[in-house]
Chains A and B, each alone.
Chain A
Amino acid sequence: MLGLILKDFINLKKNFKIFGALILLYGFMAFAMESSSYFSSMFTLVFAMLILSTYSYDEMVKWDGYALTMPITKNNIVQGKYITMLMLTVLGFIISGISLVVINTILNVDNLFGGIQVSALGAALVILFYSITIPFITKLGIEKARFIFIIVYMVPFFLGFMGYKAIKEQGLQPPVKLIEFFEFCIDHAYIIIPVIVLIALMLSYSISIRIYQKKEF
């Protein structure tokens, strides 16, 4: 399985170079806007998108069928992808953290903690996003699954927007208990978010394994 992860990272080498240039560009924008949180939120999200490229590269050369003739099991292939995804997310988080320190030092502002909070939230969202999408990619392949990404992105946005509009039009005040619940969630976000992410990840992994076992190559 180590070989599979190594294969993904070597394949992404070219993309990493492009990302090096992007870091500079975003850094420059953050510098110009004198705000580093924009940088941190963007960066973690965009960095994690690289996992999608590894799926494309594999599909292009029908890698999976070939890899399965090697001493690799179907489960190994799924595990490899989840680990690569997590590693990319963590790597994105670390690089964005380092960049934040640099930008904050240059700008001489103290927004480091806030920036890291935003990055961490970005990382959590990324893992949640992939927990939903990886089973779809496993089932449909990357090309067909692209439509699913749009839905995963758009549906919560659209529902939120509609809900907000409906509440606003009716001039409703949210019940006190709901506000209290949200306040509770925000206060305990450091526990709640990781737990949700972990559960989603575990569910997603077991679904992907089941789908992959049934696949033909």
Chain B
Amino acid sequence: MSSISSVNERTKANNPNKLNFSKQEKVDMMNDIMTQNVIEIKNLVKHYKGFSLNNISFSVPMGSIMGFVGENGAGKTTTIKAILDLIHVDQGEVSIMGTAAKNLSKELKSLIGVVFDGSNLHDNLTVVNINAIMKKIYPNWDEEVYKSYLKKFQLPEGKIIKDFSRGMKMKLSITIALSHHSKLLILDEATSGLDPIIRDEILDIFLEFIQDEEHTILLSSHIISDIEKIADYVTFIHQGNIVFSKSKDELIYQHGVIRCRKEDVSAIDKSYIVGIRENNFGAEVMIQDKDRFTRKNHEFNVERTSIEEIMLFITRGKELK
């Protein structure tokens, strides 16, 4: 998994005697590291009665936080289950750290921390019991790290999990995911149903985790504000299809909103329009390729937008005739 060493090995393989690298070579090496994908999904298809994942493809670059967004039932959890090999896919390939998800070794699995929506820990257990169990499950379990997070999150030792609040259960699941030197965190709705203060606290932990450039997070959520706060990339899934998978900044930079009168909408070049919302006061038009549009159309004032707005315009914006 160690990408830096693998890049070094590759460079050495090309020129085995070389020990010193030029500045440009170092930049290339760093780029190589940054463009390595920790998760790669290609043409994933899974059919259920009444729902399908249709040819899903996207990848999560190393060292980044990928926000995986979409409405309830859009296919986020199904995709995550496919990544974790918990379901059998009909078509397509999923690889984690360069290995097919189906063939992940125990060593690689021990580098992945997973948090699902809701607690998967038994009601009768205490945090002390969990430490004893996980010590036997994870070869790389770090008791000290576990205890430090318990302290940080103020999780009591004596109480059984049944008496924990939802927030406490979530914090415990996150603690487990962080206590075995994970390099990849896969979090499915890990912040949903929590109050804003706890959510903020948890997001800070994720930002701390990502400081290590070999660490990567895939965070699914329908709370877009969380994604906007921490994600580097955003993948948007809608009714089993990937609508986009792009850098967050690029998305915000490339899109914009024009607020105008309803009759002015017809003057906007249709090829730029992503969606239109009309109300009593006028119309709001989401456009793409903002730079080119503003160069050509000086008469419109294009306002800055957000990921949430982009998603809403795409899914609920009036269809163009």
Contact = CB atoms under 8 A, between A and B. Distances in A.
Interface residues of A, number: 27
A63 B109 CA distance: 17
Contacts of B138: 70-71
B109 A69 contact: yes
Interface stretch (B34-42, B116-124, B237-245): B116-124
25 contacts: A3-B133, A3-B134, A3-B135, A3-B136, A3-B137, A6-B132, A7-B125, A10-B129, A10-B133, A13-B124, A60-B122, A63-B122, A65-B81, A66-B116, A68-B84, A69-B86, A69-B114, A69-B186, A70-B110, A71-B137, A71-B139, A72-B109, A73-B106, A216-B86, A216-B87
Contacts of A63: 120, 122
List the 7 closest pairs (A to B, CB-CB), nearest first: A3-B136, A66-B120, A3-B137, A71-B106, A69-B114, A217-B86, A71-B110
B292 interface: no
B62 interface: no
B231 to A, nearest CB: 22
A62 B77 CA distance: 14
Interface string B187-226: 0000000000000000000000000000000000000000
A69 B101 CA distance: 11
Contact of A14 (B85, B119, B124, B133): B124
B112 interface: yes
Interface string A3-29: 110110011011000000000000000
Contacts of B129: 10
B88 interface: yes
A11 B130 CA distance: 11
Interface in A1-60: 2-4, 6-7, 10-11, 13-14, 57-58, 60
B242 to A, nearest CB: 22
A178 interface: no
A61 interface: yes
B86 A65 contact: yes
Contacts of A216: 81, 86-88
Nearest to A71: B106
A3 B124 CA distance: 16
A2 to B, nearest CB: 4
